[in-house]
Amino acid sequence: MAGCAARAPPGSEARLSLAAFLLGASVLALPLLTRAGLQGRTGLALYVAGLNALLLLLYRPPRYQIAVRACFLGFVFGCGVLLSFSQSSWNHFGWYMCSLSLFHYSEYLVTAVNNPKSLSLDSFLLNHSLEYTVAALSSWIEFTLENIFWPELKQITWLSATGLLMVVFGECLRKAAMFTAGSNFNHVVQNEKSETHTLVTSGVYAWFRHPSYVGWFYWSIGTQVMLCNPICGVGYALTVWRFFRDRTEEEEISLIHFFGEEYLEYKKRVPTGLPFIKGVKVEL
């Protein structure tokens, strides 16, 4: 995993990333600059160049690497807000931009606060996998093509609002799971039990065995409902279902190895929370 070369003081990465995210989100002030005489594209290019120059002046690697990612996500969030309030057929894509950027940034921020020992640049999940990147690009292409040829399909507000509610629910559930698990949460399935690793069964873990996966499951499908993407909506549902089916089985093998009968009893009481996924089968 890519990470920082030297460990900074506790909490410094969280503060650094938050400052950079807010700096990027300051693109919300760009309409004021265009009213002052700057052309839209010229003003945007100068703004981006100015942000990067400022980050280079303020931070050296590896802190610059954290800052530039957080700033980029803040910039996308700010652009998403501006697009959300635009009078165009792209306003629901603005909702998506806000949701996507906030998801990736909050993954890093919560990890920095909650479990700094496992923190790395990978905690942004920007390089999650090739499949994840292809899925995102596919959804952007579908939205663009359908918006050109069938623009009325992208203006079903009640459907986009339903997708937004799914996204908010999924995001809140996943972050609640991360905070509840504390230092037990890790973006990578652990094959060896650490001395501090405990079985968490309280809070949202009393509802579902895998609340972070449940949250991500509904978040990812919700993004496509929000975009009114029928093809990617079906594709995402099938793909993420299969991914989390395999992921839960892989993780539960390790958890049974770590906690034995304690986890088996927990497994009997609490469902996975994912539709039609029961987890690893245990032969008695």
| 20 and 38 housed in the same domain | yes
Do residues 272 and 248 make contact, with C-beta atoms less than 8 angstroms apart? yes
* Confidence at residue 43, expressed as pLDDT on a 0 to 100 scale: 73
Note whether 256 and 266 are within 8 A (CB).
no
CB distance 216 to 239 below 8 Å: no
Residues 259 and 141 in one domain: yes
* pLDDT of 1 above 60: no
Q: Under a CB-based contact definition with an 8 Å cutoff, are residues 143 and 160 in contact?
A: no
- pLDDT (0 to 100) of residue 133: 95
The pLDDT value given to residue 195: 80
Q: Per the omega criterion (within 30 degrees of 0), is the bond before 9 cis?
A: no
The answer to whether the Cα torsion of 64, 70, 72, 74 is positive or negative is: negative
pLDDT of residue 128: 86
Q: Which of 87, 111, 127 is the last residue of a domain?
A: 127
CA 100 to chain centre: 6
Residue type, 33: L
Q: What percent of the chain has pLDDT over 70?
A: 93
Report the alpha-carbon distance of residue 206 to residue 200 in Å, rounded.
9
Total structural domains in the chain? Answer: 2
Query: How distant, in Å, are the alpha carbons of 39, 200, 201, 244 from that of 184?
Result: 50, 8, 12, 19
83 & 165 share domain:
no
| Whether 78 and 213 share a structural domain | no
Instruction: Identify whether residues 241 and 261 lie together within a single domain.
Output: yes
| In a shared domain, residues 176 and 141 | yes
Q: How far is C-alpha 137 from the geometric centre of its chain's CA atoms?
A: 15
- CATH code, 230: 1.20.120.1630
Asked if 60 and 88 sit in the same domain, the reply is: yes
Examine residue 6 and state whether it is found in any structural domain, yes or no: no
220-242 per-position pLDDT tens digit: 999 999 999 999 999 999 999 99
127, two tokens? 């390089």
Asked if residue 199 belongs to a domain, the reply is yes
Q: Is the pLDDT of residue 144 over 80?
A: yes
Q: How far apart are CA 234 and CA 96, in angstroms?
A: 17
60 inside domain? yes
**pLDDT confidence bin for 44, thresholds 50/70/90:** confident
Residue 41, pLDDT above cutoff 90: no
Select from 217, 259, 228 the least CA-distant residue to 147.
228
Using 50, 70 and 90 to split pLDDT, how confident is the model at 5?
very low
161 and 277 share a domain?
Answer: yes
Contacts with 246 (C-beta within 8 Å, 6 or more apart), sequence order: none
Closest CA to 209 of 125, 265, 283, 128: 265
Count, residues in the chain: 284
**pLDDT recorded at residue 6:** 47
What does the alpha-carbon distance between residue 163 and residue 175 come to, in Å, rounded to a whole number? 18
Q: Which domain holds residue 135?
A: 128-283
> Domain check: are 152 and 257 in the same one?
yes
Percentage of the chain lying above the pLDDT 90 cut: 80
- Same domain, yes or no: 227 and 259: yes
Is residue 3 in some structural domain? no
Could you tell me if residue 7 is inside a domain? Answer: no
Task: Name the token pair of 246.
Answer: 């395999």
Q: What is the mean pLDDT of the chain?
A: 92
- 31: confidence class by pLDDT, cuts 50, 70, 90: confident
The last residue of a domain, from among 127, 153, 182: 127
Give me the mean pLDDT over the 89-115 stretch: 97
Same domain, 139 and 100: no
Last residue of a domain, one of 100, 127, 154: 127
Candidate from 38-42, 107-111, 196-200, 223-227 with smallest mean pLDDT: 38-42
Domain membership of residue 262 (yes or no) is yes
Does 98 or 128 have the greater pLDDT score? 98
CA atoms lying within 13 Å on the CB side of residue 205: 16
Of 143, 167, 138, 169, nearest to 156 by C-alpha is: 143
CA 59 → CA 3, 63, 148, 260, distances in Å? Answer: 16, 6, 42, 47
261 and 140 within one domain: yes
Query: Residue type for 168, please?
Result: V
